[in-house]
Structure 1
Amino acid sequence: MEERTASSSPSGGGRTGRNLPAAIAVGAGLGALALGSLYTIKELFLLVIVGAVGVGVLELTKAFATRDIKVPAAPVLAGLVAMQAAAYWAGAVWLLATFAVFALVLLIWRMFSDGTDGYVRDASASVFTLFYPVMLAAFVPLLLRAGDGDHRVVIFLAVTVASDIGGYVAGVLFGRHQMTAISPKKTWEGFAGSLVACMAVGAWLVTWLLGGEIWQGALIGALAALLATVGDLIESMIKRDLGIKDLGSILPGHGGLMDRLDSLVTTLVPIWVLMTLFF
Protein backbone atom coordinates (compact mmCIF):
# COMPACT_ATOMS: atom_id res chain seq x y z
CA MET A 1 0.00 0.00 0.00
CA GLU A 2 1.36 3.41 -0.92
CA GLU A 3 1.41 5.99 1.81
CA ARG A 4 0.38 9.56 0.96
CA THR A 5 2.70 12.43 1.62
CA ALA A 6 1.56 15.38 3.66
CA SER A 7 1.39 17.47 0.51
CA SER A 8 -0.97 15.12 -1.30
CA SER A 9 -3.95 16.80 -2.85
CA PRO A 10 -7.48 15.83 -1.94
CA SER A 11 -9.31 13.49 -4.25
CA GLY A 12 -12.51 12.20 -2.82
CA GLY A 13 -10.96 11.01 0.42
CA GLY A 14 -9.88 14.23 2.06
CA ARG A 15 -6.27 15.03 2.65
CA THR A 16 -5.07 11.51 1.97
CA GLY A 17 -6.95 10.96 -1.28
CA ARG A 18 -8.57 7.80 0.12
CA ASN A 19 -11.95 6.88 1.53
CA LEU A 20 -10.45 6.26 4.96
CA PRO A 21 -13.64 5.12 6.77
CA ALA A 22 -14.30 2.57 4.04
CA ALA A 23 -10.68 1.43 4.12
CA ILE A 24 -10.80 0.95 7.90
CA ALA A 25 -14.12 -0.92 7.74
CA VAL A 26 -12.87 -3.24 4.99
CA GLY A 27 -9.60 -3.84 6.83
CA ALA A 28 -11.44 -4.68 10.05
CA GLY A 29 -13.74 -7.05 8.20
CA LEU A 30 -10.86 -8.86 6.52
CA GLY A 31 -9.06 -9.12 9.87
CA ALA A 32 -12.12 -10.59 11.56
CA LEU A 33 -12.55 -13.12 8.74
CA ALA A 34 -8.89 -14.14 8.94
CA LEU A 35 -8.81 -14.49 12.74
CA GLY A 36 -12.20 -16.16 12.95
CA SER A 37 -11.22 -18.90 10.51
CA LEU A 38 -7.63 -19.19 11.75
CA TYR A 39 -8.57 -19.90 15.36
CA THR A 40 -11.47 -22.23 14.63
CA ILE A 41 -10.61 -24.63 11.80
CA LYS A 42 -7.26 -24.08 10.11
CA GLU A 43 -8.50 -25.53 6.83
CA LEU A 44 -11.14 -22.79 6.69
CA PHE A 45 -8.37 -20.22 6.79
CA LEU A 46 -6.74 -21.95 3.81
CA LEU A 47 -10.02 -21.52 1.92
CA VAL A 48 -9.88 -17.81 2.72
CA ILE A 49 -6.34 -17.68 1.32
CA VAL A 50 -7.36 -19.57 -1.82
CA GLY A 51 -10.27 -17.20 -2.35
CA ALA A 52 -8.23 -14.04 -1.86
CA VAL A 53 -5.30 -15.16 -3.99
CA GLY A 54 -7.69 -16.50 -6.62
CA VAL A 55 -9.26 -13.06 -7.00
CA GLY A 56 -5.75 -11.60 -7.16
CA VAL A 57 -4.88 -14.00 -9.99
CA LEU A 58 -7.96 -12.93 -11.94
CA GLU A 59 -7.01 -9.28 -11.42
CA LEU A 60 -3.52 -9.95 -12.76
CA THR A 61 -4.74 -11.90 -15.80
CA LYS A 62 -7.19 -9.10 -16.61
CA ALA A 63 -4.44 -6.50 -16.25
CA PHE A 64 -2.09 -8.46 -18.52
CA ALA A 65 -4.88 -8.74 -21.09
CA THR A 66 -4.89 -4.92 -21.46
CA ARG A 67 -1.51 -5.35 -23.20
CA ASP A 68 -2.65 -8.46 -25.12
CA ILE A 69 -0.66 -10.74 -22.81
CA LYS A 70 -2.57 -14.00 -22.46
CA VAL A 71 -2.40 -15.76 -19.09
CA PRO A 72 -4.81 -18.73 -18.80
CA ALA A 73 -6.60 -18.41 -15.49
CA ALA A 74 -7.84 -22.02 -15.20
CA PRO A 75 -4.48 -23.82 -14.87
CA VAL A 76 -3.09 -21.06 -12.64
CA LEU A 77 -6.07 -21.38 -10.28
CA ALA A 78 -5.72 -25.17 -10.32
CA GLY A 79 -2.07 -24.69 -9.39
CA LEU A 80 -3.14 -22.40 -6.55
CA VAL A 81 -5.35 -25.07 -4.99
CA ALA A 82 -2.78 -27.81 -5.56
CA MET A 83 0.10 -25.84 -4.03
CA GLN A 84 -1.89 -24.83 -0.97
CA ALA A 85 -2.82 -28.47 -0.39
CA ALA A 86 0.69 -29.77 -1.09
CA ALA A 87 2.30 -27.26 1.29
CA TYR A 88 -0.17 -27.89 4.12
CA TRP A 89 -0.39 -31.67 3.97
CA ALA A 90 3.00 -32.63 2.54
CA GLY A 91 5.48 -29.80 3.14
CA ALA A 92 7.97 -27.62 1.29
CA VAL A 93 9.42 -30.28 -1.04
CA TRP A 94 6.00 -31.15 -2.42
CA LEU A 95 5.19 -27.47 -2.78
CA LEU A 96 8.26 -27.00 -4.98
CA ALA A 97 7.42 -30.12 -7.00
CA THR A 98 3.84 -28.97 -7.53
CA PHE A 99 5.04 -25.56 -8.69
CA ALA A 100 7.38 -27.19 -11.21
CA VAL A 101 4.59 -29.43 -12.54
CA PHE A 102 2.17 -26.55 -13.07
CA ALA A 103 4.86 -24.34 -14.61
CA LEU A 104 5.34 -27.08 -17.20
CA VAL A 105 1.58 -27.35 -17.63
CA LEU A 106 1.44 -23.63 -18.43
CA LEU A 107 4.22 -23.91 -21.00
CA ILE A 108 2.42 -26.79 -22.71
CA TRP A 109 -0.99 -25.09 -22.42
CA ARG A 110 0.27 -22.01 -24.26
CA MET A 111 1.99 -24.16 -26.91
CA PHE A 112 -1.36 -25.55 -28.05
CA SER A 113 -3.59 -22.50 -27.56
CA ASP A 114 -2.46 -19.48 -29.59
CA GLY A 115 0.31 -20.43 -32.00
CA THR A 116 3.93 -19.33 -31.95
CA ASP A 117 3.44 -15.55 -31.99
CA GLY A 118 3.93 -14.18 -28.47
CA TYR A 119 4.73 -17.58 -26.95
CA VAL A 120 7.65 -16.40 -24.83
CA ARG A 121 5.74 -13.31 -23.69
CA ASP A 122 2.60 -15.21 -22.69
CA ALA A 123 4.41 -18.18 -21.16
CA SER A 124 6.67 -15.89 -19.12
CA ALA A 125 3.71 -13.91 -17.78
CA SER A 126 1.89 -17.15 -16.95
CA VAL A 127 4.79 -18.62 -14.97
CA PHE A 128 5.30 -15.23 -13.32
CA THR A 129 1.67 -15.29 -12.15
CA LEU A 130 2.07 -18.86 -10.92
CA PHE A 131 5.01 -17.69 -8.82
CA TYR A 132 3.70 -14.24 -7.81
CA PRO A 133 1.37 -14.45 -5.99
CA VAL A 134 0.43 -18.16 -6.15
CA MET A 135 3.56 -19.98 -5.00
CA LEU A 136 4.59 -17.27 -2.55
CA ALA A 137 1.15 -17.46 -0.92
CA ALA A 138 1.65 -21.21 -0.43
CA PHE A 139 4.09 -20.39 2.37
CA VAL A 140 1.03 -19.56 4.49
CA PRO A 141 0.14 -23.26 4.87
CA LEU A 142 3.82 -23.97 5.59
CA LEU A 143 3.55 -21.56 8.52
CA LEU A 144 0.19 -22.98 9.50
CA ARG A 145 1.22 -26.65 9.60
CA ALA A 146 3.39 -26.09 12.71
CA GLY A 147 1.83 -26.88 16.09
CA ASP A 148 1.66 -23.16 16.88
CA GLY A 149 0.96 -22.30 13.25
CA ASP A 150 -2.04 -20.13 14.04
CA HIS A 151 0.16 -17.86 16.18
CA ARG A 152 2.85 -17.76 13.50
CA VAL A 153 0.35 -16.68 10.86
CA VAL A 154 -1.04 -13.99 13.16
CA ILE A 155 2.47 -12.59 13.66
CA PHE A 156 3.09 -12.63 9.90
CA LEU A 157 -0.19 -10.83 9.21
CA ALA A 158 0.25 -8.36 12.06
CA VAL A 159 3.75 -7.19 11.15
CA THR A 160 2.78 -6.79 7.49
CA VAL A 161 -0.34 -4.79 8.36
CA ALA A 162 1.76 -2.74 10.78
CA SER A 163 4.04 -1.90 7.87
CA ASP A 164 1.13 -0.50 5.89
CA ILE A 165 -0.35 1.43 8.82
CA GLY A 166 2.96 2.77 10.12
CA GLY A 167 4.05 3.82 6.66
CA TYR A 168 0.72 5.44 5.88
CA VAL A 169 0.52 7.45 9.11
CA ALA A 170 4.14 8.59 9.03
CA GLY A 171 3.89 9.42 5.34
CA VAL A 172 0.80 11.57 5.85
CA LEU A 173 2.16 13.37 8.91
CA PHE A 174 5.83 13.74 8.06
CA GLY A 175 6.41 12.62 4.47
CA ARG A 176 8.69 15.04 2.62
CA HIS A 177 11.49 13.07 0.97
CA GLN A 178 10.53 10.83 -1.94
CA MET A 179 11.99 7.34 -1.74
CA THR A 180 11.85 6.41 -5.43
CA ALA A 181 10.31 7.54 -8.70
CA ILE A 182 8.75 4.09 -9.05
CA SER A 183 6.18 5.08 -6.41
CA PRO A 184 6.18 8.89 -6.03
CA LYS A 185 3.93 8.83 -2.94
CA LYS A 186 6.32 6.61 -1.00
CA THR A 187 8.67 8.55 1.29
CA TRP A 188 11.63 7.82 3.52
CA GLU A 189 9.66 9.17 6.48
CA GLY A 190 6.90 6.70 5.67
CA PHE A 191 9.41 3.86 5.50
CA ALA A 192 10.80 4.88 8.90
CA GLY A 193 7.27 4.76 10.34
CA SER A 194 6.77 1.34 8.76
CA LEU A 195 10.04 0.08 10.26
CA VAL A 196 9.26 1.31 13.78
CA ALA A 197 5.71 -0.10 13.71
CA CYS A 198 6.83 -3.49 12.38
CA MET A 199 9.64 -3.90 14.89
CA ALA A 200 7.40 -2.93 17.80
CA VAL A 201 4.58 -5.28 16.77
CA GLY A 202 7.02 -8.10 15.97
CA ALA A 203 8.82 -7.81 19.32
CA TRP A 204 5.51 -7.75 21.21
CA LEU A 205 3.81 -10.67 19.48
CA VAL A 206 6.84 -12.97 19.23
CA THR A 207 7.48 -12.70 22.97
CA TRP A 208 3.78 -13.01 23.85
CA LEU A 209 2.58 -15.70 21.45
CA LEU A 210 5.72 -17.77 20.85
CA GLY A 211 7.76 -17.10 23.99
CA GLY A 212 10.64 -15.83 21.88
CA GLU A 213 13.17 -13.08 22.48
CA ILE A 214 12.52 -9.39 21.84
CA TRP A 215 15.37 -9.21 19.34
CA GLN A 216 13.90 -12.10 17.36
CA GLY A 217 10.56 -10.33 17.01
CA ALA A 218 12.25 -7.04 16.17
CA LEU A 219 14.32 -8.73 13.45
CA ILE A 220 11.23 -10.36 11.98
CA GLY A 221 9.50 -6.97 12.02
CA ALA A 222 12.45 -5.17 10.40
CA LEU A 223 12.62 -7.73 7.61
CA ALA A 224 8.85 -7.47 7.12
CA ALA A 225 9.06 -3.68 6.80
CA LEU A 226 11.79 -3.91 4.17
CA LEU A 227 10.16 -6.61 2.08
CA ALA A 228 6.63 -5.22 2.39
CA THR A 229 8.02 -2.02 0.86
CA VAL A 230 9.66 -4.07 -1.89
CA GLY A 231 6.31 -5.77 -2.52
CA ASP A 232 4.61 -2.40 -2.93
CA LEU A 233 7.28 -1.33 -5.40
CA ILE A 234 6.98 -4.55 -7.40
CA GLU A 235 3.26 -3.98 -7.86
CA SER A 236 3.91 -0.35 -8.76
CA MET A 237 6.32 -1.54 -11.46
CA ILE A 238 3.69 -3.95 -12.81
CA LYS A 239 1.06 -1.21 -12.97
CA ARG A 240 3.42 1.29 -14.56
CA ASP A 241 4.54 -1.20 -17.17
CA LEU A 242 0.94 -2.08 -18.02
CA GLY A 243 -0.15 1.57 -17.93
CA ILE A 244 -2.95 1.08 -15.38
CA LYS A 245 -3.72 2.85 -12.12
CA ASP A 246 -5.10 -0.06 -10.10
CA LEU A 247 -5.23 -3.81 -10.57
CA GLY A 248 -8.77 -3.96 -9.19
CA SER A 249 -11.50 -2.18 -7.27
CA ILE A 250 -13.19 -4.95 -5.26
CA LEU A 251 -12.22 -3.47 -1.86
CA PRO A 252 -13.53 0.06 -1.15
CA GLY A 253 -10.75 2.31 0.08
CA HIS A 254 -8.07 -0.22 -0.86
CA GLY A 255 -8.42 -1.11 -4.54
CA GLY A 256 -8.08 -4.72 -5.63
CA LEU A 257 -7.06 -7.85 -3.74
CA MET A 258 -3.58 -7.59 -5.22
CA ASP A 259 -3.28 -4.16 -3.60
CA ARG A 260 -3.58 -6.00 -0.26
CA LEU A 261 -1.57 -9.06 -1.24
CA ASP A 262 1.47 -7.34 -2.73
CA SER A 263 3.26 -6.72 0.57
CA LEU A 264 1.99 -9.94 2.14
CA VAL A 265 3.38 -12.37 -0.42
CA THR A 266 6.83 -10.78 -0.50
CA THR A 267 7.25 -11.01 3.28
CA LEU A 268 6.09 -14.62 3.57
CA VAL A 269 9.19 -16.59 2.60
CA PRO A 270 11.72 -14.70 4.79
CA ILE A 271 9.37 -14.73 7.78
CA TRP A 272 8.83 -18.47 7.34
CA VAL A 273 12.62 -18.97 7.20
CA LEU A 274 13.25 -16.92 10.36
CA MET A 275 10.43 -18.56 12.31
CA THR A 276 11.67 -22.01 11.27
CA LEU A 277 15.19 -21.12 12.43
CA PHE A 278 14.11 -19.46 15.67
CA PHE A 279 11.31 -21.77 16.82
Structure 2
Amino acid sequence: MSEPEHHHRTVRMPKPKNSAGRDLKAAVGVGVGLGLLVIVGILLSPWGWYLVVAGAVAVATWEVCGRLKEAGYHLPMPIMIIGGQAMVWCSWPFETSGILASYVATVLVLMFFRIFYNGPEKEARNYLRDTSVGIFVLTWIPLFGSFAAMLSLMENNDVPGTFFILTFMLCVVGSDVGGYAAGVFFGAHPMAPAVSPKKSWEGFAGSILLGSLTGAITVHFLLHHHWWLGVILGICLVVCATLGDLVESQFKRDLGIKDMSNLLPGHGGLMDRLDGMLPSAMVTWLILSVVSSSYAG
Protein backbone atom coordinates (compact mmCIF):
# COMPACT_ATOMS: atom_id res chain seq x y z
CA MET A 1 0.00 0.00 0.00
CA SER A 2 1.17 3.47 -0.79
CA GLU A 3 1.68 6.08 1.89
CA PRO A 4 -1.14 8.52 2.50
CA GLU A 5 -1.06 11.41 0.05
CA HIS A 6 -0.82 14.07 2.73
CA HIS A 7 2.63 12.75 3.81
CA HIS A 8 4.10 14.12 0.57
CA ARG A 9 2.82 17.65 1.01
CA THR A 10 5.37 20.35 1.64
CA VAL A 11 4.97 23.66 3.43
CA ARG A 12 5.01 26.53 0.96
CA MET A 13 6.09 30.03 1.82
CA PRO A 14 3.72 32.80 0.73
CA LYS A 15 4.65 34.21 -2.66
CA PRO A 16 5.42 37.92 -2.85
CA LYS A 17 2.60 39.95 -4.35
CA ASN A 18 5.00 42.56 -5.69
CA SER A 19 8.55 42.57 -7.03
CA ALA A 20 11.37 44.47 -5.36
CA GLY A 21 11.73 46.49 -8.56
CA ARG A 22 15.54 46.76 -8.61
CA ASP A 23 18.74 44.73 -8.93
CA LEU A 24 18.62 43.20 -5.46
CA LYS A 25 22.24 41.96 -5.40
CA ALA A 26 23.65 45.36 -6.34
CA ALA A 27 21.27 47.08 -3.94
CA VAL A 28 22.32 44.84 -1.03
CA GLY A 29 26.02 45.31 -1.80
CA VAL A 30 25.73 49.09 -1.93
CA GLY A 31 23.50 49.06 1.15
CA VAL A 32 26.10 47.12 3.13
CA GLY A 33 28.80 49.58 2.03
CA LEU A 34 26.71 52.56 3.10
CA GLY A 35 25.91 50.82 6.36
CA LEU A 36 29.59 50.30 7.14
CA LEU A 37 30.29 53.96 6.39
CA VAL A 38 27.53 54.99 8.77
CA ILE A 39 28.85 52.64 11.48
CA VAL A 40 32.34 54.16 11.19
CA GLY A 41 30.79 57.63 11.44
CA ILE A 42 28.89 56.63 14.57
CA LEU A 43 31.96 55.10 16.23
CA LEU A 44 34.01 58.23 15.51
CA SER A 45 31.28 60.68 16.50
CA PRO A 46 30.86 63.54 16.82
CA TRP A 47 33.38 64.56 14.13
CA GLY A 48 33.09 61.29 12.21
CA TRP A 49 29.29 61.52 12.16
CA TYR A 50 29.47 65.17 11.09
CA LEU A 51 31.74 64.21 8.18
CA VAL A 52 29.28 61.51 7.06
CA VAL A 53 26.27 63.84 7.30
CA ALA A 54 28.08 66.79 5.67
CA GLY A 55 29.27 64.58 2.81
CA ALA A 56 25.79 63.15 2.28
CA VAL A 57 24.26 66.65 2.29
CA ALA A 58 26.79 67.91 -0.26
CA VAL A 59 26.28 64.96 -2.64
CA ALA A 60 22.48 65.08 -2.33
CA THR A 61 22.46 68.84 -3.01
CA TRP A 62 24.69 68.32 -6.06
CA GLU A 63 22.37 65.59 -7.38
CA VAL A 64 19.18 67.61 -6.94
CA CYS A 65 20.61 70.86 -8.33
CA GLY A 66 22.03 68.95 -11.29
CA ARG A 67 18.63 67.47 -12.10
CA LEU A 68 17.00 70.88 -11.74
CA LYS A 69 19.56 72.39 -14.12
CA GLU A 70 18.74 69.70 -16.70
CA ALA A 71 15.08 70.71 -16.37
CA GLY A 72 15.87 74.37 -17.07
CA TYR A 73 16.09 75.75 -13.54
CA HIS A 74 18.94 78.15 -12.73
CA LEU A 75 20.42 77.64 -9.28
CA PRO A 76 23.95 78.71 -8.28
CA MET A 77 25.55 75.38 -7.32
CA PRO A 78 28.43 76.90 -5.24
CA ILE A 79 26.00 78.91 -3.10
CA MET A 80 23.73 75.90 -2.58
CA ILE A 81 26.55 73.56 -1.53
CA ILE A 82 28.61 76.04 0.53
CA GLY A 83 25.50 77.37 2.28
CA GLY A 84 24.40 73.83 3.05
CA GLN A 85 27.79 72.99 4.54
CA ALA A 86 27.64 76.16 6.65
CA MET A 87 24.32 75.01 8.13
CA VAL A 88 25.66 71.57 9.03
CA TRP A 89 28.97 72.69 10.53
CA CYS A 90 27.60 75.74 12.35
CA SER A 91 25.21 73.42 14.19
CA TRP A 92 28.19 71.93 16.05
CA PRO A 93 29.30 74.94 18.10
CA PHE A 94 26.07 76.99 17.93
CA GLU A 95 23.39 74.26 17.59
CA THR A 96 19.98 75.54 16.39
CA SER A 97 21.13 79.18 16.41
CA GLY A 98 23.95 78.27 14.04
CA ILE A 99 21.56 76.46 11.70
CA LEU A 100 19.11 79.36 11.64
CA ALA A 101 21.77 82.02 11.06
CA SER A 102 23.41 80.02 8.25
CA TYR A 103 20.06 79.22 6.66
CA VAL A 104 18.93 82.85 6.63
CA ALA A 105 22.31 84.04 5.30
CA THR A 106 22.27 81.44 2.50
CA VAL A 107 18.70 82.34 1.51
CA LEU A 108 19.62 86.04 1.39
CA VAL A 109 22.65 85.35 -0.82
CA LEU A 110 20.51 83.17 -3.08
CA MET A 111 17.79 85.83 -3.35
CA PHE A 112 20.24 88.61 -4.21
CA PHE A 113 22.53 86.56 -6.45
CA ARG A 114 19.66 85.17 -8.53
CA ILE A 115 18.68 88.71 -9.61
CA PHE A 116 22.02 89.09 -11.40
CA TYR A 117 22.38 85.47 -12.54
CA ASN A 118 22.30 86.53 -16.21
CA GLY A 119 24.39 89.66 -15.63
CA PRO A 120 23.48 93.16 -14.39
CA GLU A 121 22.19 94.29 -17.80
CA LYS A 122 19.86 91.35 -18.47
CA GLU A 123 16.42 90.68 -17.05
CA ALA A 124 16.22 88.01 -14.34
CA ARG A 125 13.71 85.63 -15.92
CA ASN A 126 11.89 83.04 -13.78
CA TYR A 127 13.26 84.73 -10.67
CA LEU A 128 10.42 83.70 -8.34
CA ARG A 129 10.38 80.13 -9.65
CA ASP A 130 14.12 79.56 -9.29
CA THR A 131 14.46 81.33 -5.94
CA SER A 132 11.52 79.42 -4.48
CA VAL A 133 12.93 76.08 -5.65
CA GLY A 134 16.34 77.03 -4.23
CA ILE A 135 14.83 77.78 -0.80
CA PHE A 136 12.91 74.50 -1.01
CA VAL A 137 16.13 72.55 -1.68
CA LEU A 138 18.00 74.33 1.14
CA THR A 139 15.19 73.39 3.53
CA TRP A 140 14.76 69.86 2.22
CA ILE A 141 18.40 68.77 2.36
CA PRO A 142 20.88 70.79 4.50
CA LEU A 143 18.36 72.20 7.00
CA PHE A 144 16.86 68.80 7.81
CA GLY A 145 20.28 67.17 7.56
CA SER A 146 21.70 69.51 10.20
CA PHE A 147 19.33 68.03 12.77
CA ALA A 148 20.65 64.57 11.94
CA ALA A 149 24.18 65.86 12.58
CA MET A 150 23.19 67.32 15.97
CA LEU A 151 22.09 63.91 17.23
CA SER A 152 25.78 63.24 17.93
CA LEU A 153 25.89 66.18 20.37
CA MET A 154 23.22 64.70 22.65
CA GLU A 155 24.37 63.03 25.83
CA ASN A 156 23.09 62.73 29.36
CA ASN A 157 24.67 61.06 32.37
CA ASP A 158 25.92 57.66 31.21
CA VAL A 159 24.22 57.80 27.76
CA PRO A 160 26.71 58.88 25.08
CA GLY A 161 25.82 60.69 21.86
CA THR A 162 26.53 57.56 19.83
CA PHE A 163 23.48 55.88 21.40
CA PHE A 164 21.20 58.69 20.20
CA ILE A 165 22.51 58.28 16.63
CA LEU A 166 22.17 54.51 16.93
CA THR A 167 18.57 54.85 18.10
CA PHE A 168 17.77 56.99 15.06
CA MET A 169 19.49 54.68 12.57
CA LEU A 170 17.96 51.49 14.01
CA CYS A 171 14.49 53.04 13.86
CA VAL A 172 15.13 54.00 10.22
CA VAL A 173 16.25 50.44 9.44
CA GLY A 174 13.23 49.02 11.28
CA SER A 175 10.89 51.29 9.32
CA ASP A 176 12.51 50.38 5.98
CA VAL A 177 12.59 46.62 6.64
CA GLY A 178 9.03 46.53 7.95
CA GLY A 179 7.72 48.58 5.06
CA TYR A 180 9.67 46.64 2.43
CA ALA A 181 8.63 43.20 3.70
CA ALA A 182 4.97 44.10 4.22
CA GLY A 183 4.81 45.93 0.88
CA VAL A 184 6.36 43.09 -1.12
CA PHE A 185 4.33 40.27 0.47
CA PHE A 186 1.02 41.95 1.25
CA GLY A 187 0.90 45.28 -0.60
CA ALA A 188 -2.47 45.56 -2.34
CA HIS A 189 -3.88 49.00 -1.55
CA PRO A 190 -1.87 51.94 -2.99
CA MET A 191 -1.40 54.85 -0.61
CA ALA A 192 -1.01 57.58 -3.24
CA PRO A 193 -1.17 55.96 -6.70
CA ALA A 194 -0.90 59.28 -8.52
CA VAL A 195 2.39 60.06 -6.76
CA SER A 196 4.01 56.71 -5.88
CA PRO A 197 2.11 53.66 -7.23
CA LYS A 198 4.28 51.11 -5.37
CA LYS A 199 3.78 52.60 -1.91
CA SER A 200 0.97 50.71 -0.17
CA TRP A 201 -0.99 51.02 3.04
CA GLU A 202 0.16 47.51 3.96
CA GLY A 203 3.79 48.64 3.63
CA PHE A 204 3.03 51.69 5.76
CA ALA A 205 1.48 49.46 8.43
CA GLY A 206 4.59 47.25 8.37
CA SER A 207 6.78 50.33 8.84
CA ILE A 208 4.66 51.54 11.75
CA LEU A 209 4.74 48.13 13.41
CA LEU A 210 8.49 47.47 13.19
CA GLY A 211 9.47 51.14 13.51
CA SER A 212 7.55 51.64 16.76
CA LEU A 213 8.76 48.30 18.13
CA THR A 214 12.37 49.26 17.36
CA GLY A 215 11.79 52.67 18.93
CA ALA A 216 10.42 51.14 22.14
CA ILE A 217 13.36 48.72 22.44
CA THR A 218 16.12 51.25 21.65
CA VAL A 219 14.76 54.07 23.81
CA HIS A 220 14.28 51.69 26.75
CA PHE A 221 17.53 49.71 26.55
CA LEU A 222 19.94 52.20 24.93
CA LEU A 223 18.69 55.50 26.29
CA HIS A 224 17.20 54.14 29.55
CA HIS A 225 13.98 56.07 29.10
CA HIS A 226 10.28 55.23 28.93
CA TRP A 227 9.44 52.64 26.25
CA TRP A 228 6.25 54.46 25.25
CA LEU A 229 8.31 57.48 24.22
CA GLY A 230 10.10 55.13 21.84
CA VAL A 231 6.75 54.08 20.38
CA ILE A 232 5.91 57.75 19.77
CA LEU A 233 9.35 58.22 18.22
CA GLY A 234 8.86 55.24 15.90
CA ILE A 235 5.42 56.36 14.74
CA CYS A 236 6.48 59.98 14.13
CA LEU A 237 9.64 58.85 12.34
CA VAL A 238 7.69 56.53 10.03
CA VAL A 239 5.09 59.19 9.20
CA CYS A 240 7.80 61.75 8.36
CA ALA A 241 9.83 59.20 6.39
CA THR A 242 6.75 58.20 4.38
CA LEU A 243 5.87 61.82 3.63
CA GLY A 244 9.51 62.43 2.68
CA ASP A 245 9.33 59.54 0.21
CA LEU A 246 6.17 60.98 -1.31
CA VAL A 247 7.73 64.46 -1.57
CA GLU A 248 10.70 63.07 -3.50
CA SER A 249 8.40 60.96 -5.71
CA GLN A 250 6.38 64.05 -6.61
CA PHE A 251 9.60 66.02 -7.17
CA LYS A 252 10.88 63.37 -9.62
CA ARG A 253 7.46 63.10 -11.25
CA ASP A 254 7.46 66.85 -11.92
CA LEU A 255 10.90 66.57 -13.53
CA GLY A 256 10.00 63.39 -15.42
CA ILE A 257 12.87 61.30 -13.98
CA LYS A 258 13.09 57.92 -12.23
CA ASP A 259 16.19 58.45 -10.05
CA MET A 260 18.13 61.48 -8.84
CA SER A 261 21.29 59.97 -10.35
CA ASN A 262 22.94 56.62 -11.10
CA LEU A 263 25.55 57.09 -8.38
CA LEU A 264 24.51 54.03 -6.35
CA PRO A 265 23.86 50.81 -8.35
CA GLY A 266 20.55 49.26 -7.35
CA HIS A 267 19.52 52.39 -5.43
CA GLY A 268 19.67 55.26 -7.92
CA GLY A 269 21.06 58.41 -6.37
CA LEU A 270 22.07 59.13 -2.79
CA MET A 271 19.04 61.39 -2.44
CA ASP A 272 16.87 58.40 -3.29
CA ARG A 273 18.15 56.85 -0.03
CA LEU A 274 17.94 60.03 2.04
CA ASP A 275 14.47 61.19 1.01
CA GLY A 276 12.76 59.69 4.07
CA MET A 277 15.66 60.03 6.50
CA LEU A 278 16.02 63.81 6.22
CA PRO A 279 12.57 64.88 7.52
CA SER A 280 12.53 62.00 10.02
CA ALA A 281 15.88 63.21 11.41
CA MET A 282 14.28 66.50 12.36
CA VAL A 283 11.38 64.92 14.27
CA THR A 284 13.80 62.43 15.87
CA TRP A 285 15.94 65.31 17.15
CA LEU A 286 12.83 66.98 18.62
CA ILE A 287 11.68 63.85 20.48
CA LEU A 288 15.14 62.75 21.62
CA SER A 289 15.76 66.28 22.94
CA VAL A 290 13.06 65.47 25.49
CA VAL A 291 14.91 62.26 26.37
CA SER A 292 18.22 64.08 26.64
CA SER A 293 16.86 66.83 28.88
CA SER A 294 14.83 64.59 31.22
CA TYR A 295 16.88 61.52 32.02
CA ALA A 296 14.95 58.75 33.71
CA GLY A 297 17.46 56.61 35.51
TM-score relative to the length of structure 1? 0.92
Q: Is the 8 A contact 1:88 1:144 kept in 2?
A: no
2:64 is matched with 60
Matched, 1:267 2:267: no
> How far off is 1:103 after superposition?
0.5
1:12 is matched with none
1:140 is matched with 148
CA distance in 2, matches of 1:194, 1:203: 14
CA distance in 2, matches of 1:91, 1:45: 15
> How far off is 1:41 after superposition?
4.2
> How far off is 1:149 after superposition?
2.1
CA distance in 2, matches of 1:139, 1:233: 21
Matched, 1:104 2:116: no
> How far off is 1:118 after superposition?
0.9
CA distance in 1, matches of 2:21, 2:138: 33
What root-mean-square deviation, in Å, do the aligned CA atoms of Structure 1 and Structure 2 show? 1.5
Question: 1:63-101 CA deviation, whole Å, 9 max, x = no partner?
Answer: 112320111110111112211111111111121111001
2:5 is matched with none
CA distance in 1, matches of 2:44, 2:58: 22
2:173 is matched with 161
Matched, 1:207 2:220: yes
Runs of 4+ in 1 over 2 A off after TM superposition: 5-8
Q: Is the 8 A contact 1:66 1:242 kept in 2?
A: no
Secondary structure, aligned partner of 1:90: helix
Matching of residues 95-244 of structure 1 within 5 Å: 95-114=99-118, 115-147=123-155, 148-181=160-193, 182-244=195-257
The AA in structure 1 aligned to 2:275 is D
CA distance in 2, matches of 1:59, 1:121: 19
Question: 1:192-222 CA deviation, whole Å, 9 max, x = no partner?
Answer: 1111110111111111211011111111011
Secondary structure, aligned partner of 1:191: helix
Q: Is the 8 A contact 2:190 2:198 kept in 1?
A: yes
Structure 1 gaps of 5+ residues are 9-14
Q: Is the 8 A contact 1:203 1:217 kept in 2?
A: yes
CA distance in 1, matches of 2:76, 2:17: 41
Matched, 1:24 2:28: yes
1:85 counterpart (84, 89, 99):
89
Q: Is the 8 A contact 2:45 2:162 kept in 1?
A: no
1:39 counterpart (34, 37, 43):
43
Q: Is the 8 A contact 1:159 1:202 kept in 2?
A: yes
Secondary structure, aligned partner of 1:138: helix
1:50 is matched with 54
Structure 2 gaps of 5+ residues are 1-14, 293-297
> How far off is 1:278 after superposition?
2.7
CA distance in 2, matches of 1:142, 1:57: 19
1:11 is matched with none
Q: Is the 8 A contact 2:56 2:270 kept in 1?
A: yes
Question: 1:149-178 CA deviation, whole Å, 9 max, x = no partner?
Answer: 221111112212221221111111011111
The AA in structure 1 aligned to 2:239 is L
TM-score relative to the length of structure 2? 0.87
CA distance in 2, matches of 1:206, 1:21: 32
CA distance in 1, matches of 2:82, 2:169: 25
CA distance in 1, matches of 2:46, 2:95: 16
CA distance in 1, matches of 2:94, 2:110: 23
Instruction: Tell me how many residue pairs correspond in the alignment.
Output: 269
Q: Is the 8 A contact 1:207 1:217 kept in 2?
A: yes
Secondary structure, aligned partner of 1:185: strand
- Higher relative CO (CA 8 A, sep ≥ 6), structure 1 or 2? 1
CA distance in 2, matches of 1:69, 1:6: 41
CA distance in 1, matches of 2:37, 2:150: 20
CA distance in 2, matches of 1:51, 1:85: 11
CA distance in 1, matches of 2:45, 2:148: 15
